[in-house]
A and B are shown apart, each in its own frame.
Chain A
Amino acid sequence: MQITGQLTLTVLMGLFLVIIAAWLARIEDWRSYTPLGSGGAAGESGYVSQEKPTGISRWLTTVDHKDIGMLYGAYGVLAFVVGGLMIMVMRVELLDPGMTLISNSFYNSLLTSHGITMLFLFGTPIIAAFANYLVPLLIGADDMAFPRINAIAFWLLPPGALLIWAGFFPLGDIIPAQTAWTLYTPLSTGAGGGNQANAGVDLMILGLHLTGVSATMGSINFIATIITERAEEVTWANLDIFSWTILTQSGLILFAFPLLGSALLMLLLDRNLGTSFFAIEAGGTMLWQHLFWFFGHPEVYILVLPPMGIVSYVLPRFAGRRLFGFKFVVYSTLAIGVLSFGVWAHHMFATGMDPRLRASFMAVSMAIAIPSAVKTFNWITTLWNGKVRLTTPMLFCVGFVSNFILGGVTGVFLASIPVDLVLHDTYYVVGHFHYVVMGAIAFAGFAGLYYWFPMFTGRMYQRRLGKIHFWTWMIGSNITFLAMIVLGYGGMPRRYATYLPKFATFHQLATLGALLMFVGGLVWTYNFVVSWLEGPRVQDGDPWNLRDDGMYTNEWQWFQDRQETAITDGGDEDVVADGGTEE
């Protein structure tokens, strides 16, 4: 019986490789028509053709930074929808303490998966989407420094997502991980009588490892691109703020993610091959926490710096003024990048670590408030006396600043040891970081999506729906996360599928806010899908009238050039061949 199984698997794998080889042969066939290696065609690249392959092959084989940016974007948005639906199920479960919509263990699974999905499958990729599409355009590069590595980095993500979600698919005995995204040992080593020795946890760790490899490859690419591929006129002095944040973020990724990868491998070895890195008698429970948070805290800044870059970039366009104190925003970005590696143990104040160490981590954590506040004040002073236009991207930027202040100030309280000891592991912490990751990071992401939507799609979205989306989210997120802060003051612990009846009102409020955001999400989906398909075409390269205020930038110039070229020679596949009469 077992032999038959092995044989079947062998045949299957063989067949799989043969199919790939056959497909490659077809692609190679197409490639043989291109002047490969003849050095004739154009420029240094040597493999130039007039067109990309068509259909699905185009997307599977592309190494063009704009296409890869779109792929990252589609992937990030899809993951955001998945993570959002997960949390909706959880919030409905929390409507009432006696609710039995889902089992407690399924709640734990969703809790784990929601966190990982939002941080690793939505947050990091959506930033990579903007960076891939825009950084080469902003710095005047033809493409990324390593286009193929760029493609590898993206294609590692879909298998990563499938592995992370593997437990939810009907695959025999495999169950979803219930370790929470922090994977604390000894629970995550599978020790004890629980069910976390299940292969579902291994698959999730492998998936996480893949997304880490992907992020590292991407970061190396961005560092190389920004340092070496800038056009002559782009100097360090006039490099735009978004590229600065991407450069800093890539540096953080380069130092943080390989450490996560190593720690995850150690965990896998402990679970499967009998090593004892994290056994109580060896590394103990603290080793994992130190390793994880040495990665985990910089990860927070990996996620927040580029969205801050988007806000610093977009907000001045609709304030009609240049970014106030540009230099100091850049210095603050770099300062946050450096300081972020010195604060990790503030996640561990309640573990009983040495109090003297604790004090130094508290001091550095509070010090981060300084560069963060510098940025916040600079955004506010940019708005001051500006010619403010409240377009949808601008609304999301202002929402970002507002939510970031709330998330940031609650964070300063948490950085203080005595406050942290009271509020540790309560909903206060959940409210704090959701203000930052949802209220700020996701808001900035949507500011970017709306702002560059005309460039990405060539069409305009419906403005009224965009504003409805913003207001449902602004009100919804503040109801939900403020309710969480109050719950935390009341002593409601994190991560539980049920609660004492006295917490019911604020849990119901939190669910109400979540429902409001769900409605806003539906409006946004409808708006983007319908506008992409049949929205009015953008007529010139300046859909936001930036020229009026002298705020026009490189990427829109590129967009305008592309439109003009497309109209002259009909060469762009986005324009219909008969000269674009589809009005």
Chain B
Amino acid sequence: MDEQPGLSDQYRMASPWPLFVALGIPIAELGILFDVFVVAVAGLLLFCGSLTGMIREAGYAETAWRPLAVFAVLLFAVGGVLAFTDVSLVTRGYAILTAGGILAAAGIGGELFVPKRDPV
């Protein structure tokens, strides 16, 4: 640090995703708790989408499509439990399943139809 004072200031640290991960959580929670279908779906999309963006940015995945599909599977599991088991929170379950469906469509569609870019 002493040879190059102030170097750590040049590690530009900026990412647009954390803000939206943090917004997605309360929106999804509010939607699910108060059983407001659209809010729950939008919150989950925001949350999972931002997490995907962050995973890609950090280099854990090359494209966004597979993480999206993974989140879809997780949402299907949770939504399925709420909607089709004895828990019987049907509308909330369907909201989560819908969000999962949209994510799955994006993930599978992206994987199949979006041309792969060469690495920069």
Contact = CB atoms under 8 A, between A and B. Distances in A.
B17 A60 contact: no
Interface string B25-54: 110011001101111011001100000011
B38 A210 contact: no
Q: What is the interface of chain B mostly: helix, strand, loop, or mixed?
A: helix
Interface in A142-163: 142-143, 147-152, 154-156, 159-160, 163
A262 to B, nearest CB: 15
Interface string A550-577: 0000000010011011100001100000
Contacts of B19: 60-61, 151, 155
B13 A20 contact: no
Contact of B23 (A46, A159, A199, A213): A159
B14 A561 contact: no
Given A16-B42, A155-B19, A562-B5, A62 B14 contact: yes
A36 B117 CA distance: 14
Contacts of B89: 273
Contacts of B12: 34, 47-52
Contact of A63 (B13, B30, B120): B13
The size bracket of the interface on B is 35 or more
A55 interface: no
Contacts of B2: 561
Contacts of B25: 156, 159, 210, 213
A159 B22 contact: yes
Interface in A1-22: 6, 9-10, 13-14, 16-17, 20
A61 B29 CA distance: 23
A535 interface: no
Contact of A155 (B23, B41, B45, B59): B23
- Residue among B29, B36, B37, B58 with most chain A CB within 10 A: B29
A295 to B, nearest CB: 20
Contacts of B37: 6
Contacts of B17: 148
B9 interface: yes
A370 interface: no
A299 interface: no
A61 B36 contact: no
Interface stretch (A37-45, A101-109, A436-444, A455-463): A37-45
B50 to A, nearest CB: 9
Contacts of A46: 59
A215 to B, nearest CB: 13
Q: What is the interface of chain A mostly: helix, strand, loop, or mixed?
A: helix
A140 interface: yes
A27 B39 contact: no
Nearest to A558: B1
B1 A140 contact: yes
A330 B87 CA distance: 49
Nearest to B89: A273
A420 interface: no
Contacts of A199: 34
Contact of A152 (B5, B13, B21, B39): B21
- Residue among B2, B11, B21, B30 with most chain A CB within 10 A: B11
Contacts of B58: 148
Nearest to A152: B18
Contacts of B29: 206, 209-210
B119 interface: yes
A152 B22 contact: yes
Contacts of B9: 562, 565, 571-572
A33 to B, nearest CB: 12
A214 to B, nearest CB: 8
Given A561-B5, A565-B9, A566-B6, A61 B14 contact: yes
Interface string B92-119: 0000000000000000000000000001
A351 interface: no
Given A206-B33, A564-B5, A566-B6, A45 B11 contact: yes
Given A210-B25, A564-B5, A147 B119 contact: no
B1 to A, nearest CB: 7
Given A37-B59, A199-B34, A147 B22 contact: no
A563 to B, nearest CB: 9
A561 B6 contact: yes
A24 interface: yes
A63 B10 contact: no
Given A9-B36, A155-B22, A27 B6 contact: no
Interface of B: 1-2, 5-6, 8-23, 25-26, 29-30, 33-34, 36-39, 41-42, 45-46, 53-54, 58-59, 89, 119-120
* CB-based closest 3 A-B pairs: A561-B5, A565-B6, A155-B22
Given A159-B25, A272-B33, 13 more contacts: A13-B41, A17-B46, A50-B12, A64-B13, A147-B13, A147-B15, A148-B54, A151-B19, A155-B21, A156-B22, A199-B34, A272-B34, A558-B1
Interface of A: 6, 9-10, 13-14, 16-17, 20, 23-24, 27-28, 34, 36-38, 42-43, 45-53, 58, 60-64, 140, 142-143, 147-152, 154-156, 159-160, 163, 199, 202, 206, 209-210, 213, 268, 272-273, 558, 561-562, 564-566, 571-572
